[in-house]
A and B are shown apart, each in its own frame.
Chain A
Amino acid sequence: MHIGLFVPCYVDQFYPDVAVATLELLESCGMQVEFPSAQTCCGQPMANTGCAEMAVPLAERFVEIFQPYDFVVCPSGSCTAMVVHHYDHLFSGEKRAAFEAVRDKTLELSQFLERYVPAEKLNFPSFPHRVGLHQSCHGLRELRIGACSERMVTGNDSVGELLERVPDLTRVTLKRADECCGFGGTFAVAEADVSVAMGLSRVADHAAADAEVIVAGDMSCLMHMQGLMRRDGSPLRVMHLAQLLCGRSIDINHDAKEQRR
């Protein structure tokens, strides 16, 4: 399968290893992966700030860039949800068919692994740590990659199932399993006080559960929580799911030296 790797703009610039790990992970499952370098940002910041019209050219470019691939895979629930759910209003007329084709083959990383990689290929290295899973809102409530506590339905749990396949990993139990971390894109700046309060209580939940590392499928939530933890000198670490599944060191995003390599 020929996969177009869709890398969130801030991951490209600030957490390149998350994209490297995603690439390695997909290749190790036997996929042919390519990063089309013409991509930049999916346009979510503009659309969420009330400037959806500014996202139109970016959305059109996105469709053009990713058209040739069998699948588009992204290590972010939020950016995937932008394409899958929120591009809908941005396309009309003749460009619509091309958009729908790209939309239907765009998947978040754990979604792709769950649906298109045979289970026997999902063998991950040992990770002997206590892990708190932060269920990112857009993955959860837009893409439905996990069960939401509000809904009385038994849903799938892509990320949870992947973590269960990791030898020696211990999942900690959180008091609020799927509460928002408070990042919310431009919300983090526009409503900084509330955003910070939300983040701190999210971090406190993980700390109280005695987690060593907060793991999520979205680096943006982790960037926000990591920013708070660094300021407070918390020993908690953050890791993207792809990094964990690739067997990266628990310090990968924590240790400045390691991150700057």
Chain B
Amino acid sequence: MDRYQSRRKGTTTMKSTVDHPTAAKPFVANQERMKWHDGALWFVREKRDRQAHSIPEWEYLRELASQTKAHTQANLAEYLEAFERQATAAGAVVHWAADAEEHNAIVLGLLQKNNVQRVVKSKSMLTEECHLNPYLEAQGIEVVDTDLGERIIQLRDEPPSHIVLPAIHLKKGDVGETFHEHLGTEKGASDPKYLTEAARQHLRDRFLNAQAGITGVNFAIAETGGVTVCTNEGNADLGASLPPLHIACMGIEKLIPRQADLGIFLRLLARSATGQPITTYSSHFLGPREGGQLHIVLVDNGRSSIRDRDEFREALNCIRCGACMNTCPVYRRSGGHSYASVVPGPIGSVLSPAADTEQHKSLPFACSLCGSCTDVCPVKIPLHHQLLAWRQEIGREGLLPVSKRMPMKAAAALFARPRLFAVAGWFGRFALRVLPHALTHNRLNTWAVARELPIAPKKSFRSWYRDQDRPANSLPIVTPDPESSPTKNR
């Protein structure tokens, strides 16, 4: 675990409490890069919009996907058992892991049993969640991430900043620098073609020499015991097909009932993730290849406890498309590392507090509650409502900082007394009018660091209304006058 912590260059370490506003500060402050990041992700969001628009039944598909996932979760035990039966019948070996530790131990055991020293691994957020790489490396096993983005950040010793686009926080120049340092490419090179070719040559060598391939799983099918892995680079296929040993690691929420359901999810996944009609490679693995072994590790690691909670259950519908990150105006401007969490963005801010509420208590507040994530989600997770539910949970557990709780208590007390509210309002407006600007817009007033306060009017609406001499709360109901119109009135 300690080695994973060392992967967090310039970001908060894993175990310390994440303070999103503080972690976001340097990213937002670099205006040029922040705007570029915002634009790059918005570009993906727009591509997604075009692809979603191209399917007339889009909203129907979302509903179907959501219901299919809800059904699967409701019958999860039965489907998991069916999956195990079918996968075993097809020749795979199924393993069960209650948590990250067990998962890592199972994987290590398999590698050691087969005398594996070199592993190629395609993208898997689950192995990231379990911190598998540092665990295996500590045992002297070489693990090479084969997804291009993942390889870049692995060389830089950084965690991914996005679940689909792990190196989206980096520019071409940054990649050029990294490759110059690690792969010996020309200094200052930033041509994507040149850099990709260098990565291809470097990875080819690793693929050919690997003794085992680890992949994630996008969908596991209870009916057949097959697993589906989606990539755009074909790296999972090489990793699973060249070495004799294939280990597929999956969270138990990846299950879908039938082969026929897969079409719904494959259509939604790539469109939502990158705005492609379908991922370049959607590979189906049913049992091991001839002469090889296929091991599937089913991991819980907190998923059952999310499943047990009514407010958060739907978060398990997530198919890890990343659309909520691309659309989130906070994520786009604060960067993925500011969440200091394996899964960043809206879905990460729901999942991370479930794993450790204290540590991730600032994440549900890293959200303006705009609701765009909820509408973009292909499986209809009510993300912004779940973030709001987390805020209440954090309040109930007494984890709200005093700086948040006290002002709210004071405001609530004031709002409960209309007269006092009116008086306080008058004083506030009076103070704003007479005090010098420098005093009302001081550094302690966070609002006013970059924003002017509104101009304080002499009269509140309630006082204006009182002066109109309108009888309060006792007006007779009269028939509307059809003659009056706004133009006539003015």
Query: B80 at the A/B interface (Cβ < 8 Å)?
Result: no
Q: Looking across the interface, which residue of chain B has its beta carbon closest to that of A227?
A: B451
> Which residues of B have CB within 8 Å of A36?
472-473
> Which residues of B have CB within 8 Å of A193?
21, 24-25, 28-29
Known interface pairs A46-B408, A49-B391; A187-B416 also in contact (CB < 8 Å) = no
Stretch of B4-12, B53-61, B154-162, B241-249 lying at the A interface: B53-61
Q: Are A14 and B456 in contact (CB under 8 A)?
A: yes
> Which residues of B have CB within 8 Å of A243?
none
Stretch of B81-89, B112-120, B360-368 lying at the A interface: B360-368
Interface residue tally on A, bucketed by range: 35 or more
Give 1 or 0 for each of A206-224: 1 = CB within 8 Å of chain B CB: 0000000000000000011
Number of residue pairs spanning A and B whose beta carbons lie under 8 angstroms apart? 277
Q: Are B480 and A31 in contact (CB under 8 A)?
A: yes
Q: Which of B404, B416, B461 is in CB contact (< 8 Å) with A11?
A: B461
> Which residues of A have CB within 8 Å of B451?
196, 199, 224, 227-228, 230-231
Q: Are A194 and B28 in contact (CB under 8 A)?
A: yes
Q: Are B415 and A16 in contact (CB under 8 A)?
A: no
Q: Looking across the interface, which residue of chain A has its beta carbon closest to that of B489?
A: A28
B375 to chain A, nearest CB (A): 4
Q: Are A192 and B446 in contact (CB under 8 A)?
A: yes
B391 to chain A, nearest CB (A): 4
Q: Looking across the interface, which residue of chain B has its beta carbon closest to that of A8?
A: B461
Bound-state CA distance A260–B347 (Å) is: 45
Query: B370 at the A/B interface (Cβ < 8 Å)?
Result: yes
Most buried by A among B409, B452, B461, B485: B461
Q: Are A38 and B486 in contact (CB under 8 A)?
A: no
Give 1 or 0 for each of A141-153: 1 = CB within 8 Å of chain B CB: 1100000111111
Stretch of B182-190, B225-233, B276-284, B329-337 lying at the A interface: B329-337
Known interface pairs A27-B489, A54-B412, A150-B376; A176-B42 also in contact (CB < 8 Å) = yes
Q: Are B455 and A259 in contact (CB under 8 A)?
A: yes
Q: Are B408 and A49 in contact (CB under 8 A)?
A: yes
Query: A169 at the A/B interface (Cβ < 8 Å)?
Result: no
Q: Are B395 and A260 in contact (CB under 8 A)?
A: no
Q: Are B329 and A187 in contact (CB under 8 A)?
A: no
Q: Are A32 and B395 in contact (CB under 8 A)?
A: no
Q: Which of B412, B448, B458, B481 is in CB contact (< 8 Å) with A43?
A: B412
Q: Are A50 and B375 in contact (CB under 8 A)?
A: no
Give 1 or 0 for each of B406-448: 1 = CB within 8 Å of chain A CB: 0011011011111001000100110001000000000000111
Q: Which of B375, B405, B461 is in CB contact (< 8 Å) with A16?
A: B461
Q: Are A125 and B412 in contact (CB under 8 A)?
A: no
Known interface pairs A12-B425, A48-B391; A260-B461 also in contact (CB < 8 Å) = no
Query: B490 at the A/B interface (Cβ < 8 Å)?
Result: yes
Q: Looking across the interface, which residue of chain A has its beta carbon closest to that of B450?
A: A196
Q: Looking across the interface, which residue of chain B has its beta carbon closest to that of A35?
A: B465
> Which residues of B have CB within 8 Å of A39?
418
B384 to chain A, nearest CB (A): 8
Most buried by B among A17, A198, A256: A198
Query: A20 at the A/B interface (Cβ < 8 Å)?
Result: yes
> Which residues of B have CB within 8 Å of A245?
486
A113 to chain B, nearest CB (A): 11
Q: Looking across the interface, which residue of chain A has its beta carbon closest to that of B26?
A: A193
Bound-state CA distance A1–B478 (Å) is: 7
Q: Looking across the interface, which residue of chain A has its beta carbon closest to that of B54?
A: A152
B127 to chain A, nearest CB (A): 30
A6 to chain B, nearest CB (A): 12
Q: Which of A35, A152, A246 is in CB contact (< 8 Å) with B462?
A: A35
Known interface pairs A46-B412, A48-B388, A151-B59; A194-B24 also in contact (CB < 8 Å) = yes
Given A12-B462, A13-B460, A123-B485; 20 other pairs, CB 8 A cutoff: A12-B425, A16-B461, A30-B481, A32-B480, A34-B473, A37-B462, A45-B408, A46-B411, A125-B487, A137-B370, A150-B376, A182-B329, A194-B28, A197-B28, A198-B368, A226-B452, A228-B450, A246-B490, A260-B433, A260-B458
Interface of A toward B, CB cutoff 8 Å: 1-2, 7, 9, 11-17, 19-20, 23-25, 27-32, 34-41, 43, 45-55, 57-58, 61, 68, 70, 86, 121-125, 137-138, 140-142, 148-153, 176, 178-180, 182-199, 201, 223-224, 226-228, 230-231, 245-247, 256, 259-261
What are 11 A-B interface contacts by the 8 Å CB criterion?
A13-B461, A28-B486, A41-B411, A50-B395, A150-B376, A151-B59, A176-B42, A189-B446, A194-B334, A246-B486, A261-B458
